Structure 1
Amino acid sequence: MAQTEQIREKLRPGKVYRREDLEQYSSSVDRDLSNLVQEGALRKAARGVYYVPRKTAFGQAPPEDKELVRGFLKDNRFLLTSPNAYNSLGVGTTQLYNQPVVYNHKRHGTFKLGNRSYSFRVKPHFPKQVTEEFLLVDLVNNLAQLAENGEEVLARAADKAKEMDGPKLRAAVRQYGNVRTQKLFSSFLQNTP
């Protein structure tokens, strides 16, 4: 049990740990991790990924989404967003989606981390932070996956594009738009500075 205690001393609430991060503290890391999970000191988020629950006014909670994704990917280069963010653009999207989207360079697919599913999408380029320009380009990239009427949203997106900063939007379209999106935006922005 001494090795289990040695691992326990390293654990911090709200932090994510990979099995390989903890194996240096134990000669039987799998047994010790299993013991810590059984007693509730650790929770399993995914295969080889664990987290220490953080205490909140409502009880125990998983770590922040960014911390969980960072631990799962073993990488800081990702953008965590959600189709819910499109609603802030004012282009007619109103649906609420329960699955965050993670743009990254390593993993593609839907993965369950803890109690929540995340849609991981490999992209060569994405910003460090969500901008209004990126959101509009991303909305048009993903139009077919939205619950709203695509034609109506697209018409409002075209109007929104004309109101936005032309050079910034053009740069976002070049960097983040797929071929179809780039063609659509070239028609949207044809007569704008």
Structure 2
Amino acid sequence: MSAVTELARKLRPGQVYRRKDLARWSTAVDRHLRQLVAKGRLEKVANGLYMAPRRTRFGNAPAKPEKLVGRFLGDERFLMVSPNAYNGLGVGTTQLHNVPVVYNHKRHGRFKLDGREYDFRMRATLPAHLTEEVLLVDLLHNLERLPEDASSILPKALARARGMDRKRLARAVRDFGSARAERLLSPVLHST
């Protein structure tokens, strides 16, 4: 059995691999990667990042964004937020956004992975899960980046904050918030 065939047998459909992960199974990794891409056994989704295609009756399925981002970062500690989620808070945002934001500890900037753009932003601390409170804090942090008028969104966001659990909101501000979000939410958190 050839070395490239042996490498191909280790690939699992839908999985994302870093070049360095595949190098441990190959003595000529770059040549083998070129051959596997040419045969359609791998797709290059970014520099040094490959996906074993998962075939469906509609064609090859894209990689799951969480797998793609996790392998790109080489770290599973990240929080992916679609600004579309702000619309669910009921504070007047209605725009649809195509660029998810990935809060993480390693990378900063916009990167294209598997044909889709992601906005990576480094943060010192990350919440384990995206809760309603974290989402509201994130919205307040990104108020100027929204296409809607911030002066109409802010009062609705603060009214929404008043209806949230104060302890969980305070924890979201402490663990994930910016100085701006903390300042804006201070009257809500410290009112009696």
**Superposition TM-score, scaled by structure 1 size:** 0.95
Q: Which residue of 2 aligns with 1:19?
A: 19
Q: Which residue of 2 aligns with 1:68?
A: 68
Shift of 1:58: 2.1
- Aligned partner of 2:58: which letter? F
Shift of 1:143: 0.6
Aligned residues: 192
Q: d(CA) in 2 for partners of 1:96 and 1:188?
A: 28
After superposition, give the CA deviation of every residue in 1:60-110 in whole Å (9 maximum; x if it has no partner). 122100110111111111111210111110000111100111111000000
Q: Which residue of 2 aligns with 1:102?
A: 102
* 1:91 and 2:91 aligned: yes
Shift of 1:124: 0.9
Q: Which residue of 2 aligns with 1:141?
A: 141
Shift of 1:13: 0.6
After superposition, give the CA deviation of every residue in 1:121-161 in whole Å (9 maximum; x if it has no partner). 10011212100000000000001111111111111001001
Name the Cα RMSD after superposition: 1.2
Structure 2 gap ranges (5+) = none
Shift of 1:3: 1.2
Structure 1 gap ranges (5+) = none
- Aligned partner of 1:117: which letter? E
Q: How does 1:105-184 map to 2 (within 5 A)?
A: 105-184=105-184
Shift of 1:23: 1.3
User: Is the partner of 1:60 in helix, strand or coil?
Assistant: strand
Q: d(CA) in 2 for partners of 1:29 and 1:102?
A: 30
- Aligned partner of 1:147: which letter? P
Q: Which residue of 2 aligns with 1:9?
A: 9
Q: d(CA) in 2 for partners of 1:116 and 1:69?
A: 11
After superposition, give the CA deviation of every residue in 1:164-193 in whole Å (9 maximum; x if it has no partner). 11111112112211111111100233424x
Shift of 1:57: 3.7
The percent identity for this pair of structures is: 52
Shift in alpha-carbon separation, 1:57–1:151, aligned structure 2, 3 A: farther
- The 8 Å contact of residues 52 and 62 in structure 1, kept in 2 or not, is answered as no
User: Is the partner of 1:137 in helix, strand or coil?
Assistant: helix
- The 8 Å contact of residues 63 and 114 in structure 2, kept in 1 or not, is answered as no
Q: How does 1:25-64 map to 2 (within 5 A)?
A: 25-64=25-64
User: Is the partner of 1:75 in helix, strand or coil?
Assistant: coil
User: Is the partner of 1:25 in helix, strand or coil?
Assistant: coil
- Aligned partner of 1:154: which letter? L
**Superposition TM-score, scaled by structure 2 size:** 0.96
